[in-house]
């Protein structure tokens, strides 16, 4: 009887040790890449942010992304200043966050077919539900998520002065690529 | 059985860890992991000049800037004027180039007073949003060559006495997203000893302010207080009020001022009239600044 109780204790202990020994189940990407493009007949604008952070919960398929607007690099320095000061107003709204979950996630990161992610994008003071398609890849044993989608500048309350309406596309094309490694606190 | 509560605790613990973290907790982790990049306060002023005088700003590396300035005014007691729209006109053409994010130099020429000017600007301290750097400091060294007599100023023949120098330390702060203010303690060496009688070394305190009215339009004003000047006899202090308007690569500065000149020395010193709305005191002008990026950066975008 006493032996049995001890062995139960040891079993429980071992179980817990096993649980704690594993990493949290979260994967992190510290240098994710997000590019956006605005193509019009007048002007092509593109910018890239190489310092996007993202985290996924390996078990539940939840995804969160955060980026600083000031980290976007443009070809022209003045364009970058205008972007931050007059369009996205990065001193008031310094970052963009996205929080979502892979649809019908069964705990397996299949690389065969693209998946859909539903989530909330919080940007320029506006919170909006968006759905986007992602492709899942496995590169050097690391999980890689990538994809592209379009956002409407009107949806996020970005105002363009009438004179510059021909220069800036109403629909901005966004591309992203995140490579994840296990997250340890 | 003693193992029952133990089992329950164990079950609870397991359950707690299996549930994992929700979306908000993931975002909280990201907040911790967010990159620590330096965030310099940008657009304290929108261009290198408040309106006529130097602002704390310099351009980013590899940027060439062209300034085309115009100024129109009426002369007093000239009721029988035959001129169209305005009695007098002055034009200015200037260029400046940013060697680095901190260092800029430039030169210009003005039609009305025949002044050639050059300057170098160095951004010593940049205001930051992420760290406790509450102000920005820029040093300016400029020189103006007075090529001919203008208005009532008779210049010495000796060319070294036609050369004047200006040294400024511009201290600026962007208080919030709309309001910026700068003070600039200034030393001016007036080669010709004008306008303050035979005093070649002059001290001045310059002030500049910007208030953002909208995302693309801001109000700007500047004032220069010259110490030891007998205002009236020895000219008046500079005051200008205007609007900055940015349209892509072009920035327009509409201004009303009592200055006829565009360079850093004569606009501070040689103003025969005080600012008012009658002929002589009011000079209306537009400075158009066109920004050209000679060195484009490579954003290394995802689209190849």
ipTM: 0.82
> Whole-number mean pLDDT of chain B?
89
Round to whole Å and give the CA distance between B8 and B13.
9
Provide the pLDDT for residue B4: 60
- In the 8-state DSSP scheme, what is residue B126? -
Q: Considering only alpha carbons, which residue of chain B is nearest residue A49? A: B299
**Residue-wise pLDDT tens digits, B162-194:** 999 999 999 999 999 999 999 999 999 998 888
**Nearest-CA distance A112 → chain B (Å):** 22
**Residue-wise pLDDT tens digits, B253-277:** 999 999 999 999 999 999 888 898 9
Answer yes or no: do B247 and A161 touch at CB < 8 A: yes
Answer yes or no: do A70 and B30 touch at CB < 8 A: no
| Ordered structural domains, chain B, with CATH | 3-33 (no CATH), 63-293 (2.40.160.40)
Average the pLDDT over B107-130 and give the result.
94
Residue B237 confidence (pLDDT) above 80: yes
Tokens linked to B200: 């070649």
> Whole-number mean pLDDT of chain A?
88
Provide the pLDDT for residue B154: 84
- In 3D space, the residue among B83, B147, B142, B81 whose CA is nearest the CA of residue B112 turns out to be B147
Segments in chain A below pLDDT 50: 17-22
* pTM of the complete model: 0.84
| Ordered structural domains, chain A, with CATH | 24-182 (2.40.128.110)
Q: Is A174 an 8 Å CB contact of chain B?
A: no
Three-state DSSP string of A79-102 = HHHHHHHHHCCCCCCCEEEEEEEE
Tokens linked to B88: 């007098």
Answer yes or no: do B24 and A99 touch at CB < 8 A: yes
Provide the pLDDT for residue B198: 79
Provide the pLDDT for residue B37: 87
Average the pLDDT over B86-93 and give the result.
92
User: Predicted confidence band at B34 (pLDDT cuts at 50, 70, 90)?
Assistant: confident
Q: What share of chain B has pLDDT > 70, as a percent?
A: 93
Average the pLDDT over B140-145 and give the result.
96
Which of B9, B66, B301, B304 should be substituted to probe chain A, the one whose Cβ sees the most A Cβ atoms within 10 Å?
Answer: B301
Residue B10: its chain A contacts at CB < 8 A?
A: 12, 15-16
Which of B4, B9, B26 should be substituted to probe chain A, the one whose Cβ sees the most A Cβ atoms within 10 Å?
Answer: B26
Provide the pLDDT for residue A13: 53
Round to whole Å and give the CA distance between B155 and B162.
7
Q: Is A7 an 8 Å CB contact of chain B?
A: no
Higher pLDDT, B80 or B113: B113
Buried b (16+ CB within 10 A) or exposed e, A17-40: eeeeeeebbbbbbbebbbbbbbee
User: Predicted confidence band at B283 (pLDDT cuts at 50, 70, 90)?
Assistant: very high
Which of A6, A20, A43, A86 should be substituted to probe chain B, the one whose Cβ sees the most B Cβ atoms within 10 Å?
Answer: A86
Chain centroid to CA B6: 71
For B31, phi then psi, to 5°, come to -60, -40
- In 3D space, the residue among B111, B177, B107, B175 whose CA is nearest the CA of residue B144 turns out to be B107
Is the CB of residue B135 less than 8 Å from the CB of residue B173? yes
């Amino acid at each position: 009887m006493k032996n049995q109780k001890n062995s139960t204790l040891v079993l429980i202990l071992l179980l817990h040790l096993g649980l704690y020994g594993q990493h949290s189940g979260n994967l992190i990407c510290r240098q994710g890449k997000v590019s956006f493009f605005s193509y019009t007949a007048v002007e092509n604008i593109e910018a890239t942010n190489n310092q996007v952070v993202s985290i996924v919960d390996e078990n539940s398929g939840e995804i969160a992304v955060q980026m600083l607007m000031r980290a976007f690099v443009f070809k022209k320095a003045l364009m970058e200043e205008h972007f931050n000061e007059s369009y996205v107003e990065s001193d008031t709204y310094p970052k963009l966050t996205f929080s979502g979950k892979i649809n019908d996630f069964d705990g397996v990161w299949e690389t065969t077919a693209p998946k859909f992610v539903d989530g909330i994008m919080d940007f320029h003071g506006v919170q909006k539900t968006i759905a986007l398609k992602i492709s899942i890849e496995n590169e050097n044993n690391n999980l890689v998520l990538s994809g592209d989608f379009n956002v409407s500048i009107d949806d996020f309350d970005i105002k363009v002065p009438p004179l510059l309406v021909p220069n800036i596309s109403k629909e901005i094309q966004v591309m992203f690529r995140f490579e994840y490694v296990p997250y340890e606190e | 059985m003693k193992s029952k509560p133990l089992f329950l605790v164990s079950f609870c613990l397991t359950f707690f860890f299996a549930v994992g973290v929700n979306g908000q907790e993931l975002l909280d982790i990201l907040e911790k992991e967010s990159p620590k990049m330096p965030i310099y306060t940008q657009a304290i002023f929108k261009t290198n000049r408040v309106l006529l005088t130097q602002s704390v700003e310099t351009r980013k590396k590899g940027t060439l800037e062209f300034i085309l300035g115009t100024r129109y005014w009426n002369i007093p007691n000239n009721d029988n004027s035959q001129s169209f729209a305005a009695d007098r006109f002055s034009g200015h053409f200037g260029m400046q180039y940013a060697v680095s994010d901190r260092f800029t130099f430039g030169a210009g020429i003005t039609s009305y007073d025949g002044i050639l000017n050059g300057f170098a600007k160095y951004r010593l301290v940049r205001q930051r949003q992420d760290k406790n750097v509450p102000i920005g400091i820029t040093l300016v060294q400029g020189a103006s060559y007075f090529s001919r007599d203008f208005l009532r100023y008779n210049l010495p023949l000796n060319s070294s006495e036609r050369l004047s120098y200006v040294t400024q330390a511009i201290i600026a702060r962007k208080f919030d997203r709309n309001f910026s203010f700068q003070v600039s303690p200034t030393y001016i060496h007036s080669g010709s000893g004008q306008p303050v009688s035979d005093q070649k070394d002059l001290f001045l305190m310059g002030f500049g302010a910007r208030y953002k009215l909208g995302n693309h339009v801001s109000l700007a004003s500047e004032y220069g207080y010259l110490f030891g000047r007998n205002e009236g006899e020895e000219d008046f202090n500079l005051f200008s009020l205007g609007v900055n308007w940015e349209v892509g690569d072009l920035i327009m500065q509409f201004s009303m001022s009592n200055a006829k000149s565009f360079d850093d020395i004569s606009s501070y010193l040689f103003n025969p009239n005080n600012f008012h709305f009658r002929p002589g005191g009011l000079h209306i002008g537009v400075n158009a600044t066109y920004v050209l990026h000679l060195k484009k950066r490579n954003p290394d975008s995802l689209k190849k």
